[in-house]
Amino acid sequence: MKTTQNKKILQALEEAAPDWVSLPVLSKASGSLSPATRISNLRKQGYTIENRVEHTRNKRGGNVTTSAYRLHE
């Protein structure tokens, strides 16, 4: 059976649970350029996935927004 991007993201979330997984890590794990869309697909399938957004500043003082996800237990 072919492993879809959705399945790869779900697997990454399950392996990390209950910890948060950053968007770049999910992108690398799945090969998806849009892991947020895959997360949306998983939610439509009935999975409860939490999202955390953090706003910080980089070394040059610019605004940086990071997002992370975790599977709700």
**DSSP bridge partners of 71:** 49
Element (H, E) at 1: none
Packed helices 35-44 and 5-16: angle between N→C axes, nearest 10 degrees: 80
pLDDT at 50: 97
| 73 residues of the chain, pLDDT tens digit each | 457 999 999 999 999 999 999 999 999 999 998 999 999 999 999 999 999 999 999 999 999 999 999 999 7
**DSSP bridge partners of 12:** none
pLDDT at 48: 97
Biggest alpha carbon distance in the chain?
Answer: 47
- Domain map of the chain by residue range? 5-71
Rounded to the nearest 5 percent, the helix, strand and coil shares of the chain are 40, 25, 30
Q: For the domain covering 5-71, report its CATH number.
A: 1.10.10
Predicted structure pTM score: 0.84
